[in-house]
Amino acid sequence: MKKRDVETTGHEWDGIEELNNPLPRWWLWVFYATIVWGIGYTIAYPAWPGIRSATAGVMGWSTRANIAEDIAAATAANAEITARLAETPLTEIAADPVLDGFARNSGGAVFRTWCAQCHGSGAAGAKGYPNLLDDEWLWGGSIEAIHESIQHGIRNDQSDMARYSEMPAFGEILEDDEIDQVVNYVMSLSGEPREADLVAAGGDVFADNCSACHGAAGEGDQSLGAPNLSNAVWLYGGDYETIRHTVEYSRYGVMPAWQDRLSDAEIAAVATYVHGLGGGE
Amino acid sequence: MATTTPDQPDLYAPREPIFPRRVSGRFRNLKWVLMAITLGIYYITPWIRWDRGPNLPDQAVLVDLAGRRFFFFWIEIWPHEFYFVAGLLIMAGLGLFLFTSALGRVWCGYACPQTVWTDLFILVERWVEGDRNARLRLHRQSKWTLRKARLRLTKWVLWLLIGLATGGAWVFYFTDAPTLLRDLFTLQAHSAAYITMAILTLTTFAFGGFAREQICIYACPWPRIQAAMMDEDTITVAYRDWRGEPRGKHRKVSEEGLGDCIDCMACVNVCPMGIDIRDGQQLECITCALCIDACDDVMTKIGKPRGLIDYLALSDEPAERAGKAPTPIWRHILRPRTMIYTALWGLVGLGLVFALFIRADIELTVAPVRNPTFITMSDGTVRNVYDIRLRNKQGDARPFHVTVTGDPALRIVLEGASDATVTVGPDSTRLQRVYVDAPATSAPAQAERSEIRFWVEDLSNAERASEASVFNGRDNR
């Protein structure tokens, strides 16, 4: 059989010859073209590293500028609905599905940026920081009340309209055994079985010292931010030691006012979000 | 040990143009038929209509990238059902193994788009510039006369039009074809459509018109892979050199000692890959079988039996050399290897068909919200939150009723719904936040974990689906 004569490179090792199967010429051109393209690319775009930064490239392209553009575009695209959110009365937001969806989603973003540090990314709160998922509200759980708490904050110096109340430190007012009695009484309010004598005595202490704010049956008062003591939710904890600490030394939870830090629309959005977490009234 | 030559050979070679001669015969006819079928499927498919009701597209085959749906006649694939596509790809792979081990590179020779479009481009080239000799003359004519310019220009314009139709057909698979066609002409289509068409037009033009066999030889990995899948029983295009050699010019009176090959070069001249099949098995050979047609034609003319170049299995060579009858073709094809490939192919196919038939029209996925794991309400109720995705695969909106089982004390509340029923739009998914409450004294509230199950029922036809989940109780803290 006549074999096609294949050129060899002339290399031979132990009788094994290296055949020369040349690449097509255009393949080489493609290689050169990629080099030219690569050089052009490094001129057009940021490429060569320097001491402090890289060459900027003649196209003026940068990822930071891109993000700024994207943010500006998103803000512009949302301008209309953002304005609508700021103007719409809070109680009417829920009636508009589009506005409600926008408020919940953008409010969630605001929450995770500004509120999650204390209240947690899932809004479950922590000791001293209220859980926003349940139906217990210190200052009210209607959307207006939530909005006001966010706008002006609680016990801060930033807003004149900040919600304010202060529980006395009863360690300086009551005797030790009176404190023991009232703690037992408070625990009994939420159904905890306690010693009957202590509870009975504590009831008197409570009526004299606590009921003005926390109510005759410990039901609390949202206008004063006085917690309901007769339910299952505890801000600092429902065990004896914690309640005793609260009675003796008081508590003074602070929340900043957001009126100067967030826009009206952002506050409305985050209020809608918090109201919609499952416990809103 | 090592020897070197002073003059280094050139590492790069210019492409040698190939001018395949026209040929006719049974394989050429088969290729015409296959070309008509494959191109027909490609160009016509996007225009087939299929009524799916008012809310769904009426294009039979549609890849809706924006809506993340794939429509194929009566089948609709959602993104989470992508395993169907994976299964089809596995079947395609096994199918290629099967065909390659049984019949060699039939894919390359008959069905590969590169082959089909190159064949079409060569047809146009022959129609404009004439057959092999005329094209060779035109190629060698260095002076650009008016005639050469006219022929070349005509050919290129025709090629570009074919390329445009190819790129055009491609984009029709991704959106409603009639609408897109109108938008394309009124210049209102999305720029992605124009860019895709431009790229595919130019690649078709370059690959089919100029690169041709270079794609198969240098760019495609398949020839290398296929070499590993063929064995001595594989039916492939080969030259019976024991019958043809020694080759020599045909005389009226057959000379002693000469084989049947008259060295007329017909097989070489028709080859679109520019090789000589008489050199044996080669990487370049796509087994298009045109050399068989060419040689059979010559053999008939000189009164010799056909089949000097033929589809045959290499394992038959010893028998044929000895003048014995070769193994029948079916014995070559039906062997354990091909049967295993067929069985696997069929198994995957049956699995897919089965999966297709047991698919539910409604589905749900439950994602428990575990931040926090549970919530204590003011009355002591323990609440768990779940994000449930309700999928309605039907073409109209359906009322979905959501319930929970696991403990009779559990109560379910759907966010934003007055009762446990929500409407899920046609062919869409609804993300529904669900609260499950266990009263303070109930078992799930006290226990650490309770197994629960979410049920969703399509109230319009009572079809149900369910998914298991877990309820975290107060003991979980």
Which residues have a Cβ under 8 Å from the Cβ of B438 and sit 6 or more positions away?
B381, B382, B383, B384, B407, B409, B410, B411, B444, B445, B471, B473
Q: Are residues A134 and A266 in the same domain?
A: yes
**A21 in a domain, yes or no?**
yes
Hey, are the CB atoms on B3 and A22 less than 8 Å from each other? no
CA distance B358 to chain A (A): 36
- Domains of chain B, CATH where assigned: 26-81+106-139+149-221 (no CATH), 362-476 (2.60.40.10)
Is A118 known as a binding-site position? yes
Least confident of A6-10, A253-257, B443-447: A6-10
Q: Are residues A157 and A260 in the same domain?
A: yes
Least confident of A16-25, A172-181, B210-219, B338-347: A16-25
Q: Are residues A33 and A99 in the same domain?
A: no
Q: Are residues A20 and A90 in the same domain?
A: no
Residue B3: pLDDT band (50, 70, 90) is: very low
What pLDDT does A281 receive? 85
| pLDDT value at B447 more than 90 | yes
**A179 in a domain, yes or no?**
no
pLDDT tens-digit profile of A194-235? 999 999 999 999 999 999 999 999 999 999 999 999 999 999
Residue B252: pLDDT band (50, 70, 90) is: low
In this complex, the residue of A1, A133, A276 whose CB is nearest that of residue B245 is: A1
| pLDDT value at A3 more than 50 | no
Rounded (10°) angle between helices B113-129 and B132-140 = 80
User: Which residues of chain A does B442 touch, with a Cβ-Cβ cutoff of 8 Å?
Assistant: none
A79: closest CA among A278, A263, A250, A260?
Answer: A263
What pLDDT does A83 receive? 96
Q: Are residues A146 and A27 in the same domain?
A: no
pLDDT tens-digit profile of B4-41? 455 666 777 777 889 999 999 999 999 999 999 999 99
Residue B2: pLDDT band (50, 70, 90) is: very low
Q: Is the peptide bond before B272 cis (omega within 30 degrees of 0)?
A: no
- Higher-pLDDT residue of B6, B202: B202
Shortest CA distance from B8: residue in chain A: A9
In this complex, the residue of B5, B15, B379 whose CB is nearest that of residue A231 is: B379
For residue B376, how many other CB atoms are within 10 A of its CB?
23
| Cβ–Cβ < 8 Å for A178, A204 | no
What pLDDT does A188 receive? 95
**A204 in a domain, yes or no?**
no
Residue B416: pLDDT band (50, 70, 90) is: confident
| pLDDT value at B206 more than 60 | yes
Q: Can you give the CATH number for the domain in which A98 is found?
A: 1.10.760.10
Q: Which amino acid is at B97?
A: F
| pLDDT value at A47 more than 80 | yes
**CA dihedral for B121, B122, B127, B129, sign (positive or negative):** positive
What pLDDT does B6 receive? 52
Shortest CA distance from B385: residue in chain A: A278
**A16 in a domain, yes or no?**
yes
Count of domains observed in chain A: 2
**A18 in a domain, yes or no?**
yes
CA B195 from centroid of its chain's CA atoms: 22
| pLDDT value at B253 more than 60 | no
Q: Are residues A155 and A265 in the same domain?
A: yes
Least confident of A22-36, B291-305, B330-344, B431-445: A22-36
What pLDDT does B246 receive? 83
Hey, are the CB atoms on A22 and B1 less than 8 Å from each other? no
Q: Are residues A83 and A32 in the same domain?
A: no
Query: In chain A, what percentage of residues exceed pLDDT 70?
Result: 98
What pLDDT does B385 receive? 96
Q: Are residues A94 and A150 in the same domain?
A: yes
d(CA B191, CA B145): 40
Hey, are the CB atoms on B375 and A1 less than 8 Å from each other? no
At B392 the three-state DSSP class reads: strand
Q: Are residues A82 and A154 in the same domain?
A: yes
First to last CA, chain B: 79
Hey, are the CB atoms on B378 and A232 less than 8 Å from each other? yes
CA distance A172 to chain B (A): 31
Domain that holds residue A90: 77-161+255-275
Cα-Cα-Cα-Cα torsion B237, B239, B240, B243, nearest 10 degrees, comes to 150
| Cβ–Cβ < 8 Å for B378, A135 | yes
B276 and A CB contact within 8 Å: yes
**Mean pLDDT estimate for chain B:** 91
**A109 in a domain, yes or no?**
yes
Is A152 known as a binding-site position? no
- The string of DSSP codes covering A114-156 is IIHHHH-TTS--BTTB--SSSS--SS--SHHHHHHHHHH-BS-
**Strand-strand pairing, B449-458 and B398-405:** antiparallel
Hey, are the CB atoms on A25 and B14 less than 8 Å from each other? yes
First to last CA, chain A: 95
Backbone angles phi, psi at B186, to 5 degrees: -90, 10
Hey, are the CB atoms on B378 and A135 less than 8 Å from each other? yes
Query: In chain B, what percentage of residues exceed pLDDT 70?
Result: 96
| pLDDT value at A1 more than 50 | no
User: Which residues of chain A does B415 touch, with a Cβ-Cβ cutoff of 8 Å?
Assistant: 276, 278
Shortest CA distance from B10: residue in chain A: A22
ipTM of the complex: 0.84
Which 3-state string (H, E, C) describes B54-77? CCCCCECEEEECCCCEEEECCEEE
- Pick from A18, A26, A93 the residue to mutate for testing the B interface (most B CBs within 10 Å): A26
B206 and A CB contact within 8 Å: no
Hey, are the CB atoms on B214 and A131 less than 8 Å from each other? no
Q: Are residues A91 and A149 in the same domain?
A: yes
**A59 in a domain, yes or no?**
no
CA A281 from centroid of its chain's CA atoms: 21
Q: Which amino acid is at B319?
A: A
**A87 in a domain, yes or no?**
yes
**Mean pLDDT estimate for chain A:** 92
Backbone angles phi, psi at A19, to 5 degrees: -75, 150
Cα-Cα-Cα-Cα torsion B117, B123, B127, B128, nearest 10 degrees, comes to 40
